[in-house]
């Protein structure tokens, strides 16, 4: 008997020892799945380059790769120093199609743009100029013409360019070192009406585009100047189309319509014109209401006549009886 009890106790102990790991696993804290690695940062290689501080809180990011020479002018603030982030707001971009611009009183020009070693020249308001060489690259064909300066009045000036991408106009306003006002090109050839004056490229996709402006009100004439021709050996990247001015269609005057005939209402009586009616003349159309009214009047008259005749016969009979 004691042997049987000892055997059962050992069996229970062994069973408990085997069950403890399973129970511990059941009540243990759940295993946390490691998070996946964070997504890689966005690829900025298209805009990265050699940043140089050019003053007035601006950095020029210089590039010269497959896209050709580029100088991205970005606003970074006056406290910027080499090693700081420069991927911030773009003020303008200079390249072979647009090698000149102005920003915050600085005159910016990408010189020798068609060569393998272009140079960014920054001219301050006091006339001092600083050169920033771009990385070496491959020489290209310079199909750019311009800038061609043009005063357009009201303190505004324009610079005309022509390249394989088409005509382009930069508008500047006086003061603040010639701050850029707007840019016109083939895709946006005209200022909106809210600008307060006219500036547009007429026939922007044709072989002979024209810049047109009017900055004064009243009867002042519209100024016009043609863009220069393409340099020999250069071809545009688009097919020429002879654009035609859009003519607003004139709305024809509405044809006179005969006066509407007022419909007759119930109870109205048709009026027959007096005198002879000429052949073909239209007579008023008798309505159903008129027919009903006429029939009612006829029946009433007949009923009154019948009552009158009956009364007369009664009187005659009385007289005959008395006689």
pLDDT tens-digit series, residues 208-243: 999 999 988 766 789 999 998 888 778 888 999 876
**Residue 284 above 60 pLDDT?**
no
Tell me the range of 27-41, 190-204, 219-233 where mean pLDDT is highest. Answer: 190-204
Check residue 290 and give its pLDDT. 45
**Residue 248 above 50 pLDDT?**
no
Q: Which residue has the higher pLDDT, 24 or 73?
A: 73
Check residue 179 and give its pLDDT. 66
pLDDT in tens, 54-85: 999 999 999 999 889 999 999 999 999 999 99
209: burial class by Cβ within 10 Å (0-12, 13-18, 19+)? buried
DSSP string, 264-306: PPTT--PPPPSS---TTPPPPPPPHHHHHHHHHHHHHHHHHHH
Check residue 247 and give its pLDDT. 42
**Residue 286 above 90 pLDDT?**
no
93: burial class by Cβ within 10 Å (0-12, 13-18, 19+)? middle
| DSSP code for 164 | T
Q: Which residue has the higher pLDDT, 277 or 113?
A: 113
Q: Which residues pair with 320 in a beta bridge?
A: none
Beta strands at 223-226 and 210-214: parallel, antiparallel or unpaired: antiparallel
Q: Mean of the per-residue pLDDT values for the chain?
A: 73
């Amino acid at each position: 008997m004691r042997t049987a009890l000892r055997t059962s106790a050992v069996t229970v102990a062994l069973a408990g020892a085997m069950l403890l790991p399973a129970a511990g696993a059941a009540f243990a804290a759940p295993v946390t799945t490691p998070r996946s690695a964070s997504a890689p940062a966005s690829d900025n290689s298209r805009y990265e380059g050699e940043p140089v501080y050019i003053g007035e809180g601006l950095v020029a990011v210089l590039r010269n790769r497959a896209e050709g020479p580029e100088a991205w002018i970005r606003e970074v603030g006056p406290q910027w120093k080499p090693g700081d982030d420069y991927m911030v707001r773009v003020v303008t971009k200079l390249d072979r199609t647009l090698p000149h611009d102005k920003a915050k009183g600085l005159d910016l020009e990408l010189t020798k743009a068609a060569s393998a070693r272009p140079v960014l020249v920054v001219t301050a308001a006091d006339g001092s100029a600083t050169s920033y060489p771009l990385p070496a690259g491959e020489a290209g064909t310079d199909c750019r013409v311009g800038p061609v300066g043009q005063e357009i009045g009201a303190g505004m000036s324009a610079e005309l360019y022509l390249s394989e991408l088409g005509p382009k106009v930069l508008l500047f306003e006086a003061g603040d070192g010639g701050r850029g006002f707007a840019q016109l090109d083939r895709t946006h050839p005209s200022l909106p009406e809210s600008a307060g004056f006219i500036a547009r490229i007429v026939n922007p996709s044709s072989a002979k585009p024209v810049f047109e402006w009017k900055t004064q009100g009243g009867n002042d004439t519209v100024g016009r100047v043609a863009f220069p021709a393409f340099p020999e050996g250069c071809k545009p990247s688009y097919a020429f189309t002879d654009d035609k001015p859009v003519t607003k269609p004139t709305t024809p005057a509405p044809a006179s319509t005969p006066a509407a005939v007022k419909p007759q209402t119930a109870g109205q009586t048709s009026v027959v014109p007096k005198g002879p009616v000429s052949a073909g003349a239209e007579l008023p159309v008798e309505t159903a209401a008129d027919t009903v009214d006429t029939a009612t009047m006829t029946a009433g008259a007949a009923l009154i006549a019948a009552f009158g005749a009956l009364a007369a016969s009664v009187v005659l009979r009385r007289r005959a009886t008395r006689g």
